Amino acid sequence: MVDFNNLKIEPHFKLNFGKSGKNGNGGDGGSIFIFTEKLAGDGKFLAHGGRGKHGGKGGNIKIIAKNNDFKGEVSVKGGDSYGK
């Protein structure tokens, strides 16, 4: 959790997890919780799962901002799977 009165995100804030070993599963994306008076910038909030035999699930992003001038990207997605 980040608690600031004014928060500017550039270039990015990410919680992405890398691929696993040969037979492992991808890690799940993390959680990002932002609570701020003002949010600005054009960076990225990313919470992506990792690649693995079974891809990791995407994370969670929650943003609460009274004044939101953020022009960037917010992305949550699962990781790629390469096995059965």
Domain ranges of the chain: 2-77
27 or 1: which leads in pLDDT: 27
In this predicted structure, what is the pLDDT of residue 4?
59
pLDDT digits (tens, 9 = 90+) for 21-40: 667 777 777 888 888 888 88
In this predicted structure, what is the pLDDT of residue 30?
81
In this predicted structure, what is the pLDDT of residue 19?
54
pLDDT of 17 > 60? The answer is no
Whole-prediction pTM = 0.72
Query: Regarding beta strands 73-77 and 12-14, do their DSSP bridges make them parallel or antiparallel, or are they unpaired?
Result: unpaired
pLDDT of 51 > 70? The answer is yes
